[in-house]
Amino acid sequence: MNISEFDSIDSATEALTAMSQAYQDVEKMDIIDKLANIGNNYAITTSGLSESLQKSAATLSVAGDSLDEAIALTAAGLY
C-alpha cells in the first residue's frame, strides 16, 4: 500500500494475494517490485495495474502467460 495509490491495506492485500496465487513461482516482493516499476515509469498507476491483474492473473496464468507478460499486456492495453 505504501508504494501505490491504494486507498486501503485491504485492497492492496487482496490484489497481491490474487497475483501470488496465480503466479506461485514468483516471490511476493518480486511482484511488488514489478508493479512499482511499471507504475512509476508508464502511464498506468500501480493500483490500476494491480486491480487489472487481480481480475485477470488467474486466467492469464492458466493460458501460459508469465507475470511479466501479463503486466505487459495490461500496460500496453492503455495505448
Specify the residue for cell string 507478460: 69
Domain positions in the chain are: 24-76
* Confidence (pTM): 0.79
**pLDDT by residue (tens digit) across 21-57?**
899 999 999 998 998 899 888 888 888 888 888 888 8
| Average pLDDT of the chain, as a whole number | 85
Burial of 54 (0-12, 13-18, 19+ CB in 10 A): middle
Tell me the three cell numbers of residue 58: 488467474
Yes or no: say if 29 and 16 are a contact pair by the CB < 8 Å rule. no
Amino acid, res. 57: A
